[in-house]
């Protein structure tokens, strides 16, 4: 028998619908956090303090949100989204972690 190589075009893994997974797990909304603009963030209440991140990608943002909420005794369902702060925001915090660090703040609905 001759050994043949099979060429796969595209992905053979099924696409995962995050909304279906969230619904099956009983989450109130999609597991992905949305990025808020400065104007949108004013409508919500900040949760926790600002967080410094080396890389502000979706997985790091979500992981830090989960650990922060665990300390506060809250659920990720309470979060609305996050915002990457401008360079002129949180000056005291930036002095501690570096002027040009990426700083993220999380937001929840006002009570």
**Helices marked H in 1-103:** 18-25, 38-41, 58-72, 91-97
Q: Is the dihedral of CA 30, 33, 37, 40 positive or negative?
A: positive
pLDDT of the residue at 1: 60
pLDDT class for 21, splitting at 50, 70, 90? confident
pLDDT class for 73, splitting at 50, 70, 90? confident
The number of CA neighbours under 13 Å toward the Cβ of 87 is 3
Give residue-wise pLDDT tens across range 25-61.
776 655 568 889 999 999 999 998 888 887 777 778 8
Q: What is the pTM of this model?
A: 0.67
pLDDT of the residue at 46: 92
On average, the pLDDT of the chain sits at 81
């Amino acid at each position: 028998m001759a050994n043949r190589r099979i060429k796969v075009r595209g992905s053979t893994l099924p696409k995962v619908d995050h909304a279906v997974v969230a619904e099956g797990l009983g989450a109130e909304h999609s597991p992905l956090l949305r990025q808020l603009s400065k104007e949108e963030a004013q409508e919500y209440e900040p949760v926790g303090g600002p967080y410094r991140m080396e890389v502000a990608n979706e997985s790091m943002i979500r992981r830090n949100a989960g650990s922060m909420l665990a300390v506060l005794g809250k659920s990720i369902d309470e979060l609305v989204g996050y915002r990457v702060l401008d360079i002129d925001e949180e000056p005291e915090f930036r002095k501690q972690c570096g002027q040009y660090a990426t700083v993220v703040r999380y937001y929840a609905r006002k009570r």
